[in-house]
């Protein structure tokens, strides 16, 4: 764990989100400081992944506000419902965030290197010559320098997920969002992905991680949020959270997870 500055990178206030009649988020509040690692834990269906997807506009919220580095992406209008800024501004704010999903979503017909350089070339209009050295450095960072000419079908699940992390980093985001990045992996491959994420934390990357890996949350996160039923039941510094949870629901969840 590491010291964070007081600069707020993401501020979410009273986030509400429903899918039809199903209320998934019921007034969620939290903030992420620069260089902070926030782990979001909770049972399946508690709203964790939906909350993460709302942060970078993969889902639109119904009410509340999301501020990214001091700039509002969405806030309540006079009627009390969510009003977004322009599509152009949304794109600009979302470009500050990289996202890693449960499934790797690599392009099967492209090599590892091509997968990493595709978005900077397509979205940022960077030349191959300008982005390739960064892409190669990122592949080295995630331990895959020797795999740049391989295709995804030639990689293990853990290697694919590390390519996905390098691909997100190639866009040079200031915040990384991870949605259950190890849930599709065999247990023996989980460690290599968590090690890569731990290294990012040591490099002071701001991270929000939805995870069921309690060891990672305890050892790497600065702050842990426990969600249940669409609300944050409890949050706090990782050590305090795990050693002395206050809420009965948190205690029950942790005792089940840590058996």
pLDDT tens, residue by residue, 45-58:
999 999 999 999 99
Across the chain, mean pLDDT equals: 93
The pLDDT assigned to 3 comes to 45
The pLDDT assigned to 6 comes to 64
The pLDDT assigned to 257 comes to 87
pLDDT tens, residue by residue, 9-68:
999 999 999 999 999 999 999 999 999 999 999 999 999 999 999 999 999 999 999 999
pLDDT tens, residue by residue, 131-169:
999 999 999 999 999 999 999 999 999 999 999 999 999
What is the rounded CA–CA span in Å between residue 85 and residue 72? 8
Phi and psi angles of residue 198, each rounded to the nearest 5 degrees, phi first: -65, -40
Q: Is 206 left (phi over 0), alpha (psi -120 to 50) or beta?
A: beta
CB 116 within 8 A of CB 160: no
Q: For residues 87-98, give the mean pLDDT.
A: 95
Give the HSE-up count for residue 73: Cα atoms under 13 Å, Cβ half-sphere.
28
pLDDT band at 4 (very low <50, low <70, confident <90, very high): very low
Q: For residues 225-235, give the mean pLDDT.
A: 97
Question: Who contacts 32 (Cβ-Cβ below 8 Å, separation ≥6)?
Answer: 8, 9, 10, 11, 38, 175, 206, 208
Reduced to 3 states, what is the DSSP secondary structure of residue 218?
A: helix
């Amino acid at each position: 764990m590491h010291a964070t500055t007081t600069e707020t990178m993401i501020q979410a206030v009273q986030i509400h989100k429903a899918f039809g009649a199903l209320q998934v988020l019921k007034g969620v509040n939290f903030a992420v400081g620069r260089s902070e690692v926030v782990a979001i834990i909770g049972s399946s269906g508690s709203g964790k992944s939906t909350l993460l997807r709302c942060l970078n506009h993969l889902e639109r919220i119904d009410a509340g506000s999301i501020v990214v580095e001091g700039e509002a992406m969405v806030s309540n209008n006079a009627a009390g419902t969510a009003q977004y800024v322009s599509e152009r501004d949304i794109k600009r704010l979302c470009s500050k965030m990289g996202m890693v999903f449960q499934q790797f979503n690599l392009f099967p017909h492209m090599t590892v290197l091509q997968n990493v350089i595709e978005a900077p070339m397509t979205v940022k209009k960077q030349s191959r010559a300008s982005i390739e050295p960064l892409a190669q450095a990122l592949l080295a960072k995630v331990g895959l320098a020797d795999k740049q000419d391989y295709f995804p079908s030639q990689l293990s699940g853990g290697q694919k997920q590390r390519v996905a992390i390098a691909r997100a980093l190639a866009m040079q985001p200031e915040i990384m969002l991870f949605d259950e990045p190890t849930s599709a992996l065999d247990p023996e491959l989980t460690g290599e992905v968590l090690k890569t994420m731990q290294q990012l934390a040591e490099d002071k990357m701001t991270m929000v991680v939805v995870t069921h890996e309690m060891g990672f949350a305890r050892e790497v996160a600065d702050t842990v949020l426990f969600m249940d039923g669409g609300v944050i039941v409890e949050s706090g510094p990782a050590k305090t959270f795990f050693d002395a949870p206050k809420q009965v629901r948190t205690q029950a969840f942790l005792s089940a997870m840590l058996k």
